[in-house]
Every structure is written in C-alpha cells, then in structure tokens.
Structure 1
Amino acid sequence: MSDLLLHPNAQLFRVRHPDWAANATIYEVNLRQFTLEGTFRAFEAHLPRLASMGVSIVWLMPVHPIGEVGRKGTLGSQYAVRDYFGVNPEFGSLDDLRHLVQTAHQLGLRVLLDWVANHTSWDNPLVQQHPDWYQHDEQGHLVPPVPDWTDVAALDYRHPKLRRYMTDALLYWVREADIDGYRCDVAGLVPTDFWDAARRELDAVKPLFMLAEWDELYPSGGLTWEQFNPDTKLLEKAFNMTFGLRLHYLLDHIAEGKHPLRDIDSYLAAERAKYPPSVYLMHFTSNHDVNSWDGTEYERLGPLALPFAVLTVLLPGMPLVYTGQEAALNRRLAFFDKDPINWQDYPLQEFYTRLLQLKRRHFALQNGDPLSRFQRLPSPDDTYCFLRTKGLAAVLTGVNISPEPQLLVLPAAAAGTWQDVFSGQTLLFRAGEELVLPPQGWRVLEKQ
C-alpha cells in the first residue's frame, strides 16, 4: 500500500492535478521589468527560450489596470487592482494577452494569471458602487488588509454578491484568454469556502491549476503570526499547490548560520506529517516579494545561492524560477517603478536548463508521486545528500555548504553506473566508494 493511502488525512485532499503538472516547473514573470518595453508582445519573444530551459508553467504577475489613488512610486503596485475585467495598458491589450497565451500553448507551456481577491485599489469602482463589500474600522472607514499596504482596501467576503462578482471575474479570463489557472495572492486571507466554490465553477469550464500564496506551516505575504491562520485547508478542495515558505526561510537561516543544514530533515518531516505525498508545495530561492523586499539570493545566501537552488529543484516539490535568476540578477528590482533586467547573455541559463530538464524527464522527480521514494544519505556535517528513486530510476544529489571539499561515502543503494548531470562524466561506483563534493558546491548524478 502506498504512502498516499496510509496517510491519516489522505481522504481530505481531493484536488486532482492535471497530468502535465507531474513534471512541471513554474517561472514567475515580472512583466514590467522583463523587457525595456515591458509589454506582453516583448515578453512573448522569450517563451521559446523558457520552454527550452525546461519551464512548464508561466506565472504572470497581475495584468490589470493599477489604482492611482494612493499609488506608490510612479507606476504603482500591480497588486492594487482598479479593474478586474481590464488589462493594464502599460502591458498591452487583451488581444496581446490572448496572443501570448496562444503562443505559450503552441510551445507546450501553461499560463497562470496572478489574482488579487483580497483587496482592491482605493479607486476601484467597487468602492463607490458597493462600499458594503469592504471591511470597515469602528469609525466606518475602509481599511487596508495590512497597515503598510496603504494603496489597497480590504474586501469583506461575508457578502454573497461579492463572491458572485469575484467568481464571474475569475471565469472571464478563462473564457476570454484561455488561461490555465491562477496564482492567488494572500489566498489564506480569503475564506476557503469561497475558493472551494469558485474552483468547482472554474473546472466546469476547463481543468485549471491553482497556486495559493500561502503556507499552512508559516505566515505568508509579510503577515504576522497573529494574522496567520494555519488551518485554512486550501489544498483540500481548492488549490493544487501552495508556497513552501517554511523551507525558503529555513534556507535563509542556514546561510546566516542560525540553523544547521540537517534541519531540512525536520522540515520535510513536518511537511509529510501534515500532507500526503500527493500534495504540491512550491520551493524557491527568490520571487518578486523576496527579491524586492528581502534581497537577492546573493545578498541572502551569498556563495550558497546556487547550491540552494539545486536543493529547491531536486527536493520533493515543484521548483520556481523568478525573472532574472538565469541572468544571475544581483540587484533588487524596483517594485513601483520601471527597472528593466540586464540579461547579460543569460549566464545561468545552462545551470537552470540542466536542472529543469532533469526534473522534466526523470521518473523519480515527479511532483506529488506517492511511488517515488526519498532517502536521506548519511554524510558529513555541512552537507546534505539524498537519493530519489522510482523503480530502477534514481537521482543522487549532494550539496556542500562548507568552504572545503567533503567526501560522501556511498551506500549500497548507490552502486552502479551514473552520469554527472553537469559535467556529463560517466561514473561507476561500488558500495563504500567516495564521492567528492566541491566547496560550497554540489553534485547531481543520474543513474544509467
């Protein structure tokens, strides 16, 4: 019997994943900064490159018109939505978005739109038309969901007509632009029963992939523990995947010397205690919030930026790559102003291609597969080594965070012929032989 059937909560998790998501990697597109033009059409030219890199899902940050009242910076936050049925003219037209989605589909890519259901800009027409749809303070004033989110007002989902409006808006983009799902901003601040009901209607149009910005093991979106509800149950009926925020912050703390590398074991144990293997969590070293507010992966992780990127791709979970990571982007992108990427001939394109294409093709690395096995290998301190296997297929990963080389003594399970995914070298191992892990580096081997 599989771990999926043995898990005590397995029967609660009813979301069906589309077949194409099993080996998927997701790429977040900061459209404003992606090109000098900052448009759908200019970004569309990058789709073949992303597809060849091994990306499966393209997540577009919000594409809607941005509020002007209380706007931050010169262009404002893309998360201050003024019109849920409109397209931000900064990016192009609805036809341009449709063309982007069609081109992505021709390349085998899926497209998610970023959806902000929890709050609107202050000049969204809903503020005047339906002020009762918003949260109010004791004096009757509209309020932001978080004090420093001063450019948005919080919605109140106790109102059935708001729920109907928001569901209709979600349905509109599936029908009009043929998108493949949504990334939902601070999804845990919106009642779970709204998402459950909306998901049923959306899937009646076409099966979607739904990503929640939330982690039921850790607060999301800059929230405090007091604001955080760990019992949202978003993954049971509504969402295919949530953010793996706890792993993200753990990697940051390991790089700072606050936690040992072996604490990844505790993270994985907590994840498995809460979720059956069928559940997807998304792992990453950067995204739009992390880059702009916490710092680049090079600021936060230093020389461990790439070793930890290896972990986020090859540990169980779906990996995310953020705009500019394949360009070794080493600056914080402005959030409210134009600040385009300098791609520099994509110096890390090959690095990510090796990892993402391995993820894409390998049976043992599939997302949410209860028949895939994870085996932690005994290894020196400051290293983290593991096997992922399914049948005869196997991938061996070793990461070394120390400034000195380390030796991994290979167990009997590692005997056989392997190919180094990065060097292409063929290696023959017997049990008890040693594998050298380079200083602050990694080895990734695929069994032949």
Structure 2
Amino acid sequence: MPSNQPSFPQGPRIYNLFPTLLGPIERWTERLPEIAQMGFDWIFVNPFHLPGQSGSLYAVKDYYRLHPALSGDSDLSDDGDDDERLRAFTKAASDAGIAVMMDLVVNHTALDSDLVTEHPDWYVHDDDGSVHSPSATDLDDPEIVTVWEDLAQLDYSERPEREAMIDFFSEVIRHYTALGFSGFRCDAAYQLPGKVWQVLIERAREAAPETRFFAETLGAPPDDIEQLRPAGFDYLFNSAKWWDFRADWLLDQYQRFRDLAPSIAFPESHDTTRLAEESDSDSRESRFWYLFAAVFSTGLMMPIGYELGFRRGLHVVETRPQHWEEPSFYIRDFIAQVNAIKAETPVLNEEGAQERFTAADEPMVGLLRRSHRQAQRSAVLINPDTEEAQEYSRDRLTDVLDCAADQLQEITPASNDGANGEAGKPNAEKTGEGTANDSPASAIHLPPRSLRIFIANH
C-alpha cells in the first residue's frame, strides 16, 4: 500500500493502465514516474492473462499465464519468469508510492479454457447441454441482445460444486497478492452472489489483510447491487460519467449505496468512446469531466491517454503499442492539481451526504456535500452550459454552507480557461478559473463548461 498516508482516509486516485497499449511489462514500469507526478496512488491493470481464441482480454483461458503480447523480447518464457516480471512491476510501483490492482474476471472464462473440459460442472449449460455463453440486453431496445460467444458462464448457484470453484479462485487471488497486487477490480461483481464474494474476500485478507476489493456494478439492477452488502467490498464504481446534471437518478444512486461502499467516478473508461473524440479534442471537456469526477465521489479513475487527449478507443482485442497516438493536448499539470486538491481535502475523500441545493431547472447546478467524520462541507458550482457563462450569489453560497464570508474558501484548481494546448507542447496553466471575472457585487462567475469548488470548516 502507498506510504505517507494523511491523517484522514483517502479515496483512491486510479490510473487505468491498459496493458496491451504499452506492451511488455517492462514498458509499464517506464510510465511510473509520470503516473506518480500526476498524483495517482493506484494503478488498475486490465486482464493480462493468456486469452482464449478470440484474443479478448476478458476471455481468460489461463489465469496463471501471461498474454503473449506482454512477455517482452526476452528469451525467457516460462510462467515463473512472467511472475517475476509482474513482481518487479508491483515492487517498482510500490517504491513510487503507488499500489496496483488487477482485473479479477471470475464470472466467466474463455469458452476454450481448459477449465471447461476439466470442470464442466462449474458452468451454466443450455438445454442442449452446451456450455452457456453470457449475453446482455440493450436497455433502450430489449430486442437487441448481444451474446459473447467466446465466453463460458460460470455457475455460482448454491450447490456442491461451488466450494471447489471458490477454492480455485481463492488460490488465484492468493497467487497475485503474493506477487504484490494490493487490490482487485471485480468485473461484473453483481453477477456473483454476495456470499461468494464474502468468502473470497475473507480468505484473501487472511493472507494479505490490506487487500482492497473494488466492485464493478455499472448497469446492474439495484437489487443485484444490494445483494452485495455482506460481501465486504471497499469500493464500487458509479455512473457519474453519464449524468446530464438535471435528472435525479445519480444522486439517488449515490444516496442508496453510499453506506454499502464508497464510490469511484470516472470521465471515461476502457469501455467508452474517448471524450477527446466526442469533443473533437476540446480539452475544456476533458478538464470539466475529470474535475467533476474528482469532486463527486470518494475515488476517481482515469484511463491511460486521457491526459494527452487520445482519441482512439481502447479495444480488448485489437489495441497494441502501435496505436499510441500523438497527443491532441496536454492536461497533465491540470490532472496533478486536481489530484493534489482532492488528496488534501477530507470531505472529498468520503461518501458524505450529498444533495443538490439548486432547482433542477436552474442553469447553474449546485452540490452540497457534508463530511461525517469532521465539520467540513463542500459546495460545487457547475455550469454545464457549453456557450453561456453563469453567475451565483456569494451570499447565497455562504448560506448553503452555513458559514461566514471569511470562512468560505475556494479550492478550484488552476485552469487554462478553455484553450487547447498546441500538439507537442504543454499548456501554460493559469490560476483561478473564473475568479478574475467575479463581479464586485459578490457574484461568483462561472465560464461555460466549468466548475468552482468551495469548502467551509465549522
């Protein structure tokens, strides 16, 4: 785990290192100084195991063998050498103050995994006796069903075979904690019974008490998330990336599950379209969404290349080192400022009660968050409009925070006020986004597509 922890618990600041974009593990290590300089204290690595015939990272054929694209140029090729490569990486990350989590895919395997033939009774079977491939129904159009024919769905129903399955994956977890992995991002965690996760997590912590478990629950029915309560997850991922800043669903989700586990937000993920692609490389959008993710949730995550305005999506089959792009902008300094502010502000590191203090139809969006550990509150003013600037009364804000004017402190990070960096050169960061335009009449000014963050200590 990272050293030099502050006096209050910190939420994770996660850099998602997509393994096949960098290639051999030695190249992962080369990125560590830059990741550390941006203020991340966790690295999340997508599956790096040997995949099945489809080549998908999430179609794991063998949990103990490395993806062939990641072994490097060395003549060494046995499993022990792969383990040493991983151990060297987690050690280097730890020396840089960064913990490493890996993707734990235990809801399915590759259809051509040896487990399918060795343990057919571990799997769900169709009526014709064939191993069942998982599927997903489009939420907007139930007639659209995607079947992942390269996958075989594991059966965790309560039956004698379940104990052997738990034993197998407990050993997988112990293997990787012994290699220095401090956490596990649990893919589609809601697809396993909470009681199964409870056993897996308890066994893992018997060997490595500080191990952290992160539940991926995106798009899951609420009841499927609820059943995870006894499991003991440390964090879960939320859907803040898809909020329109008007509907109630995100705040309802936050309130319902904040006592199950604190949440992690992200501006984009390896599954989504790149934000720089959607915005035609407008760095203002990338800064806006990163800052929102940082102030909304206990933790935040960012995929590799976000800081450089990469536009090509990450692909679980196709992505390779040759897909590394020329940056369309640089916001590494801004990312570092946001991460530093988050790390230093207690209320932003816990899932305290959070509510909207502006009306749903107001152009400005205001979120009030309260610490339950100490007398600190935050108020975030958001202008989601892409064209029009907005203003908010400073007196009204002090009322919201229940503080005197001299107790109001702004912690908004520096910004380059919407200008894109020239490709190949860092942006010249400027301080005080919007503050120079505040009116003498105590109005707080927000440019289009911007946030300002205020805190008060009582």
Per the normalisation by structure 2, the TM-score is: 0.77
Distance 1:184 1:80 in 2: 14
1:355 aligns with 338
Q: Is the 8 A contact 2:410 2:452 kept in 1?
A: no
The equivalences for 1:334-349 within 5 A come to 334-339=315-320, 340-342=323-325, 344=327, 347-349=330-332
Shift of the alpha carbon at 1:389?
A: 5.9
1:257 corresponds to: none
Once the two structures are aligned, what percentage of the paired residues are identical? Answer: 22
8 Å CA contact 2:297–2:348 kept in 1: the answer is yes
CA–CA distance in 1 between the matches of 2:67 and 2:100?
A: 17
The letter of the residue matching 1:262 is: R
Q: For residue 13 of structure 2, what is the aligned residue in structure 1?
A: 25
Structure 1 length normalisation: TM-score?
Answer: 0.79
Aligned 1:198-347 pairs, distance under 5 A = 198-206=200-208, 207-215=210-218, 218-219=219-220, 230-245=224-239, 247-249=240-242, 251=243, 254=244, 261-263=245-247, 266-276=249-259, 279-290=261-272, 295-300=273-278, 304-339=285-320, 340-342=323-325, 344=327, 347=330
Q: Distance in 2 between matches of 1:182 and 1:231?
A: 18
SS of aligned partner of 2:48: coil
Is 2:31 the counterpart of 1:79?
no
Conservation of the 8 A alpha-carbon contact between 1:24 and 1:360: no
Deviation at 1:162, TM superposition (A): 1.8
Q: Which residue of 2 aligns with 1:131?
A: 120
Q: Does 1:187 align with 2:189?
A: yes
Give the partner amino acid of 1:27.
Answer: Y
- C-alpha spacing 1:431/1:238, structure 2 compared with 1 (3 Å): farther
SS at match of 1:144: coil
Q: 1:420 to 1:333 in 2, by over 3 A?
A: closer
Question: Secondary structure of 1:287's match?
Answer: coil
- 2:413 match: 421
Letter in 1 for 2:147: D
Q: Taking structure 1 as reference, are residues 208 and 439 closer, same or farther at Cα in structure 2, changes over 3 Å only? A: same
Residue 330 of structure 1 aligns to which amino acid in structure 2?
R
In 1, Cα distance between the equivalents of 2:31 and 2:276?
24
- Map of 1:52 onto structure 2: 37
* Corresponding residue SS for 2:271: helix
Contact kept in structure 2, 1:415 and 1:431, CA below 8 Å: no
Of stretches 124-133 and 387-396 in structure 1, the one that deviates more from structure 2 is 387-396
- Secondary structure in 2 matching 1:337: coil
Q: Check conservation: 2:187, 2:216, Cα contact below 8 A.
A: yes
* SS in structure 1 at match of 2:64: coil
TM-fit CA distance, 1:359:
0.8
Shift of 1:129: 1.2
The aligned runs of 1:344-423 (5 Å cut-off) are 344=327, 347-368=330-351, 370=352, 374=354, 376-378=356-358, 381-388=362-369, 395-402=378-385, 403-410=387-394, 411-412=397-398, 413=403, 415-416=405-406, 418=410, 420-422=412-414, 423=430
- Number of aligned residues: 393
Which structure's relative contact order is higher, taking Cα pairs within 8 Å and 6+ residues apart?
Answer: 1
Cα gap change, 1:404 to 1:163, in 2 (>3 Å): same
Name the aligned partner's letter for residue 364 of structure 2.
T
Counterpart contact for 1:307–1:441, Cα < 8 Å: yes
| Cross-structure match for 1:102 | 91
Runs of 5+ consecutive residues of structure 2 not aligned to the other structure: 1-5, 72-81, 136-145, 415-429
**Equivalent AA in structure 1 for residue 241 of structure 2:** H
1:238 shift after superposition: 3.0
RMSD over aligned CA atoms reads 3.1
1:46 to partner: Cα distance: 1.0
Separation in 1 of the partners of 2:254 and 2:41? Answer: 24
Distance 1:420-1:198 versus aligned 2 partners, 3 A rule: closer
Q: Is the 8 A contact 1:421 1:445 kept in 2?
A: no
Q: Kindly tell me: are residues 105 and 19 of structure 1, through their superposed partners in 2, closer, same or farther at Cα, counting changes over 3 Å? A: farther
Separation (CA, whole Å) in 2 of partners of 1:323 and 1:381: 35
Structure 1 spans left out of the alignment, 5+ residues: 1-17, 220-224, 255-260
Give SS of 2:185's match: strand
C-alpha offsets along residues 52-98 of structure 1, whole Å, 9 cap, x if unaligned? 21111111001111112xx1xxxx11111111122223212221111
Distance in 2, Cα, partners of 1:195 & 1:266: 27
Shift of residue 332 of structure 1? 2.0
